[in-house]
Structure 1
Amino acid sequence: MRIFKFGGASVKDAAGIRNVYEVLQKTGYEDVLIVVSAMGKTTNALEVVIKNYFEKSPALQASVQDVKKYHNQILMDLFEDEKHPVFADVNVFFADLEYFLNQNKSPNYNFVYDQVVSFGELISTKIISHYMSLMGIKTQWLDVRNFIKTDTNYRDATVDWDFTQKNISKNVKKKVLNITQGFLGSDENSFTTTLGREGSDYTAAIFAYCLNAESVTIWKDVPGVMNADPRYFENASLLNQISYREAIELAFYGATVIHPKTLQPLQRKEIPLYVKSFINPLLPGTSVSKGSDLEPQLPCFIVKKNQLLVSLSSIDFSFIMEENISEIFALLHQFKMKVDLIQNSAISFSVCVDDKFGNFGALKNILSKKFAVTYNENVSLYTIRHFDEKATKMVEKNKDVLLKQMSRETMQIVTKESN
């Protein structure tokens, strides 16, 4: 089988969904499973619903209605017959969402988050499945929560591979177009879990691994993997080929075009990953597979914004030794701070972290009991793979460099914009 993944940008409106149909016409759809994200910015809109829910805001109902209106407009654009069953199916999902918001008793934000945001993927795939059927393509809509089983670490769940492998191997039919949701799974009590933001790519890799797929294709609005994010760098160039090892390095450092967890299951079975344009689907795009590390050989730039640079120093000028570092890392893990860079000297220790869950205030209070704590908020972390002098100068231009370190292949620079 081939696995295709379509992100939110590719299905943000009726024209996008029609284009998915055109892509399938050009590439073929027999023995294909497509993984689809929520439409457009639906996840963001559902995050507003969650915020209003916890704040007991009078705007809660209006925020639900905004999501409903957005999808209804797409439905009206795609389906002329207002009695088409897709309308009833989508209404059931919205009724389920409102029922959950009225009946939920759990104060756990992460649990509520997963139950609510999941409706974005469920609704988008239901609409797309009905549209493909309308256009004459035989489809099977799969509720991914019956296939991918996870632990209860809501918002960043870990896959139970044994259960998941059995579910997928036994229940995915071939010879039809299978349509399922990215990003979602479920725990042992059948509550919805999510695999981390941008986890739809990972979903595609999970299905590919369990089905021994021929390939995975991620369809995007760019021609493939670029050596830099065009939003931040001029003259970004297309990479034709990337090895698994190099792609894992790029993903680890934060290249957003491929989810960090996506590559390991594909590499284990040597399943090639293609990143292609849904605007020009017949172009070759980028291949991530066995082969040369990088073609062409160019510096690759990755930037992470809104980082936190934290420096700890010993209050009594004693060395920061292994036991101190071990204690610091245990706290970073406890407070779910993702560490993107580490640097230490005899009496100081610095980390650049992503405070995804807003826990730094509580962590700082604990660290301050043993260390002098200094920090810089809203810094940018630049990583340059295969750096050279020209690439380094380009990154440092008009910025204050707060920290810099390099290894044989990689340079990392923490910067603040110059005033």
Structure 2
Amino acid sequence: MSKVVVSKFGGTSMGDALCMLRSAEVSFKQNSSIVVVSATSGTTNALIELGKTAQAKAWSESEVLLKKIRDRHLQIAEELKVSAATRTQLEALFEEKESLARGIHLLKDCSIKAMDTLMSLGERMSSVLFTEAMGQVLKTHGSGKKSELLDVRDVLRTDDAFSKARPLTEEIISLCGKRLVNLRDFKTVYVTQGFIGRTEDGMTTTLGRGGSDYSAAILAEGVSADILEIWTDVAGIATTDPRLCPKAKPIDEISFQEASELATFGAKVLHPATLLPAVRKNIPVFVGSSFESGAKGTWVRKEVEDYPLIRAMALRKKQVLVTLSTPAMLHAHGFLFQIFKIFNDHKVSIDAITTSEISVSVTLDDSALLNKRLIADLSEIADVQVEENLALVSLIGNNINHTAGLGKKVFETIADINVRMICLGASKHNFCFIVSEEQGPLAIQRLHQKFIEGQ
């Protein structure tokens, strides 16, 4: 019996005509039912630059960027020898892009709502091209199937939190049931966009950078897919970043819990939120490389055969440590509530936290410091100290918080590296601590040698 497979391809897999055709071959081989694509590599950044340029600079500079983006996609179209209908679709998107840029330039205002619509064009252009590539591959193989372009905004309903929109799960499931009613006939390969959605009143939204993986998982949940595939430029998940440790090992399979922790604490392969919809529906996730489709890759499942103490490790750079101190905390209740309320009001996420009688330390991405009001509000309730240029080292595995002697082995391995903060006990899958950003790579290298290479 055929399975519903949702396959997602990243920007490098959409890089040019050759990449698109290669990715289409992978989709055919995998018998994909829905293919979710990112913008061609570099296009989203180019569109962001276009929005900023249109707002603040001379129109002639915007014209240069418009032509650059247009030429890139027309080159792919030429190499694919696209149909007249596909060319017409592209031209309509080029016109929309220019109209948006002109509006931003005339108003001298690039709101997050306008930027979301502008950025959506990256995926909308690449999906038009990939639909053509997919159709050519299906025809070449004589599959009898057709490729059909699906505007994901027809099914991926979100709230109106522009730039970081939240999907409305129940509505998405309902819309998928109506729009993709023939999905299990397996006669059509639907090509659609990652990263974008639409509000109830028809406004285009984005799910945040890296949101294409998330989109694919949301769609997989929406259609009750049997498998979700994430195709990137690396052959699966490794025990750590191979750029830090050349001896990093590929991981054949990993549990949902471990993969979620790994993604959250710095691994680049998966978007941190990607797995949530898959977990809810217990959909196995495969991570592989479109450039090495024959490689083994990594399966992410609810249950796996092996549960090692240390499965992998991650390094998250650009961290800051914010320490709040006040005698008012001593034997008082409600202080943590005040702290968390301030972070909540400013929509800033905390990664790790430790407390003492009169102090609380939290780690944040350094981008949070751009929010000057956040620090000001925290300063109203406590003395605030901020330490920058730090890195979060995370060991990901199983039963970590109930394994005697693990801490001793960890800190003996990095005895000459100063550890600024430790977070252990909240999760049996994670042990993390803060070191200087300069010493982060060395800590990972030593720990990988101790716990992974030495096994």
Equivalent position SS for 1:209: helix
Letter in 2 for 1:148: L
2:414 and 2:117 map into 1 onto residues whose CA distance is 43
Identify which range, 296-305 or 135-144, moves more after superposition: 296-305
Q: CA 1:61–1:33 in 2, change beyond 3 Å: closer, same or farther?
A: same
2:224 and 2:360 map into 1 onto residues whose CA distance is 44
Which residue of structure 1 lines up, in the alignment, with residue 94 of structure 2?
Answer: 94
Provide, for residues 149-205 of structure 1, a one-character-per-residue CA deviation record: whole Å limited to 9, x for no partner.
111011111112222112111112332111000011001121111112211111111
Q: CA 1:402–1:60 in 2, change beyond 3 Å: closer, same or farther?
A: farther
Judge conservation of contact 2:56–2:108 (CA < 8 Å) in 1: no
Q: CA 1:296–1:318 in 2, change beyond 3 Å: closer, same or farther?
A: closer
Residue 297 of structure 1, CA deviation: 5.7
Residue 16 (str. 1) matches residue 19 (str. 2): yes
Which residue of structure 1 lines up, in the alignment, with residue 230 of structure 2?
Answer: 218
2:261 and 2:188 map into 1 onto residues whose CA distance is 36
Which residue of structure 2 lines up, in the alignment, with residue 5 of structure 1?
Answer: 8
Identify which range, 357-366 or 367-376, moves more after superposition: 357-366
2:15 and 2:331 map into 1 onto residues whose CA distance is 51
Equivalent position SS for 2:197: strand
Q: CA 1:27–1:304 in 2, change beyond 3 Å: closer, same or farther?
A: same
Which residue of structure 2 lines up, in the alignment, with residue 406 of structure 1?
Answer: 424
Residue 106 of structure 1, CA deviation: 9.6
Residue 49 of structure 1, CA deviation: 1.4
Residue 271 (str. 1) matches residue 289 (str. 2): no
Letter in 1 for 2:272: P
Which residue of structure 1 lines up, in the alignment, with residue 35 of structure 2?
Answer: 34
Equivalent position SS for 2:419: strand
Q: 1:157 aligns with which of 154, 157, 165?
A: 165
Judge conservation of contact 2:54–2:108 (CA < 8 Å) in 1: no
Judge conservation of contact 2:8–2:231 (CA < 8 Å) in 1: yes
- Listed as ranges, the matches of 1:135-214 within 5 Å are 135=137, 136=139, 138-172=146-180, 173-174=182-183, 175-214=187-226
Judge conservation of contact 2:258–2:396 (CA < 8 Å) in 1: no
Letter in 2 for 1:257: V
Q: CA 1:308–1:24 in 2, change beyond 3 Å: closer, same or farther?
A: same
1:139 and 1:320 map into 2 onto residues whose CA distance is 65
- Listed as ranges, the matches of 1:112-131 within 5 Å are 112-131=114-133
Taking structure 2 as the reference length, the TM-score comes to 0.83
Judge conservation of contact 2:329–2:359 (CA < 8 Å) in 1: no
Q: CA 1:322–1:227 in 2, change beyond 3 Å: closer, same or farther?
A: farther
Unaligned runs of 5+ in 2: 140-144, 401-405, 440-455
Residue 272 of structure 1, CA deviation: 0.9
Letter in 2 for 1:224: G
Judge conservation of contact 2:157–2:168 (CA < 8 Å) in 1: yes
Q: CA 1:396–1:12 in 2, change beyond 3 Å: closer, same or farther?
A: farther
Which structure is higher in helix share?
A: 2
Residue 217 of structure 1, CA deviation: 0.9
Letter in 1 for 2:229: T
Equivalent position SS for 1:155: coil
Judge conservation of contact 1:90–1:126 (CA < 8 Å) in 2: yes
Unaligned runs of 5+ in 1: none
1:230 and 1:41 map into 2 onto residues whose CA distance is 23
Identify which range, 102-111 or 191-200, moves more after superposition: 102-111
Q: CA 1:205–1:311 in 2, change beyond 3 Å: closer, same or farther?
A: same
- Listed as ranges, the matches of 1:350-365 within 5 Å are 350-356=361-367, 359-365=370-376
Which residue of structure 2 lines up, in the alignment, with residue 343 of structure 1?
Answer: 354
Aligned residues: 414
Which residue of structure 2 lines up, in the alignment, with residue 370 of structure 1?
Answer: 381
Provide, for residues 328-387 of structure 1, a one-character-per-residue CA deviation record: whole Å limited to 9, x for no partner.
111112222221111111111111112546643221122223321111223211111237
